Amino acid sequence: MDTKNSTAAGSTPAVADTKPILEVDGVTLQYKTKEHLITATYRVGFDVYPADRFVLLGPSGCGKSTLLKGIAGYMKPVEGAIRLKGREISDPGPDRVMVFQEFDQLLPWKTVKQNITFALRNGGKSDNAAEADDIAMEYIQKVKLSGFEDTYPHMLSGGMKQRVAIARGMAMEPDVLLMDEPFAALDALTRLQMQKELLQLWEDTHFTVLFVTHSIEEALIVGSRILVLSPHPGQVKAELNAFDLNHENVGTKEFVEVQQRIHDMLFADRILEDEIQTGDKG
């Protein structure tokens, strides 16, 4: 990937000093449906550095979820390579924990605590039941679910389920936490709350997170760095900084400007497509 000259702000480390934790290098991903072979992304490349809140943003059909599945190791790229800490990814593994959008990602036959200890024990994070219990309780407390540790998932609300999933993912302390539109199925107020809480959690340890969303606003609030993808097939459109934007300056001039800029980027294609399909439409 071609990076232009550095204009980095003062106090933070320079690009040259730090190695990217995750490198996605010219990746093309394809999958089969019953009748067709679909190219989801075409030669997509980007680097994720430690402590990044890296957002993959794009309209539906830009292959952002497929890309995340590729990084998680569920599918292999047709060309290009995905490297985590310099090592090429071949299989799913607990060094990249995935948080899904679907509420059924919690194992319904395990309580909140057991869901987390299950991950710790099977993911090789802990081989001691008591230790796993302690870690689980710590993270349950972090996501503000103390008192619910022995509850089965079907008794929890959607927001609480997603919190458990996030706690489970964070408890694994993965190299990179992969989040596939984790708040998309929540109501607007809960979503806002969850975005804030995620940022608070990030403040504690600055974990690296790769976050997929189709909401420009969410991308700007949650992300520090945003990769904008174009659809059919997914290709890199731009990579932008957003580390100084969060829920506090939603609606400010600065925020709206970036929002508009991304909107134009994504919308430009849409108009072009319309023109192609329906002829000239002033």
Partner 1 sequence: MDKIPDVLVRPEFEASDIGKASTADVARKLTLIERISDMHSVRKLSILVIVVIVWEVYSRLSGVSELILPKFSATALALADAVFSEQLLYMVWNSITVLISGYAIGIVIATLLTTAAATTRFGSDILSTLTAMLNPLPAIALLPLALLWFGLGADAIIFTLLHSVIWPVALNAHVGFMSVSETQRMVGRNYGLRGIVYVVKLLIPAAFPQILMGLKIGWSYAWRTLIAAELVFGGSISDTSEGASGGLGWFIFVSQMDLRIAYVFAGLFMVILVGVVVETVVFNKIESLTVRKWGMQAR
Partner 2 sequence: MSTSSNNKKTAIPQLVLRPEFEVSDIEQAQTSEVARKLSTLERIWNIDGVRKFVILLSLVVAWQAYTVGFDVEPLMLPSFWVSFSTLIRDLFYSDLIWKVWFSIKVLLIGYSAGLFLAAVLILWATVSRFGSDFISMATAMFNPLPAIALLPLAMLWFGLGTASLVFVLIHSVLWAVALSTHSGFEGVSQTLRMIGRNYGLKGFGYVWKILVPAALPSILAGMKIGWAFAWRTLIGAELVFGASSGSGGLGWYIFESSQNIDTDGVFAGLFMVILIGFFVENVIFRNIERRTVNRWGMQR
Can you tell me whether residue 82 is helix, strand or coil?
strand
The candidate with the shortest Cα–Cα distance to 229, out of 78, 79, 27, 87, is 27
Say how far apart CA 59 and CA 192 lie, in whole Å: 21
Partner interacting with residue 96 (select from partner 1, partner 2, none; CB below 5-8 Å by kind): partner 2
Cis peptide before 182 (omega within 30 of 0): no
39 and 235 Cβ atoms separated by less than 8 Å:
no
Q: Which residues bind partner 1 (CB under 8 A)?
A: 2-9, 11-13, 15, 18, 28, 30, 32, 34-39, 42-43, 49-53, 205-206, 224-225, 230, 232-233, 235-241, 243, 265
Burial class, 59, CB count within 10 angstroms (exposed 0-12 / middle 13-18 / buried 19+): middle
Binding partner of 45, given partner 1, partner 2, none, CB within 5-8 angstroms per partner class = none
155, interface contact from partner 2, partner 1, none, CB < 5-8 Å by kind: partner 2
Structure tokens at 26: 């010219």
Q: Which residues bind partner 2 (CB under 8 A)?
A: 69, 72, 74, 91-94, 96-98, 100, 102, 104-105, 107-109, 118-119, 122-124, 152-155, 172
Closest CB to partner 1 among residues 4, 87: 4
Chosen from partner 2, partner 1, none, partner binding at 200 (C-beta under 5 to 8 Å by type): none
**Of partner 1, partner 2, none, which one does residue 252 interact with (CB within 5 to 8 Å by kind)?**
none
Q: What is the nearest approach in angstroms of partner 1 to the Cβ of residue 94?
A: 20
Nearest distance in Å: CB 269, partner 2: 29
- In degrees and rounded to multiples of 5, residue 165 shows phi and psi of -60, -40
The nearest distance, CB 118 to partner 1, in angstroms, is: 25
* Distance from the Cα of residue 73 to its chain's centroid: 15
When the beta carbons of 125 and 214 are compared against partner 2, the nearer one is 125
3-state secondary structure of 30: strand
Sequence-ordered list of residues with C-beta below 8 angstroms from that of 205, at least 6 positions apart, any chain: none
Q: How far is the CB of 126 from partner 2 (least distance, A)?
A: 12
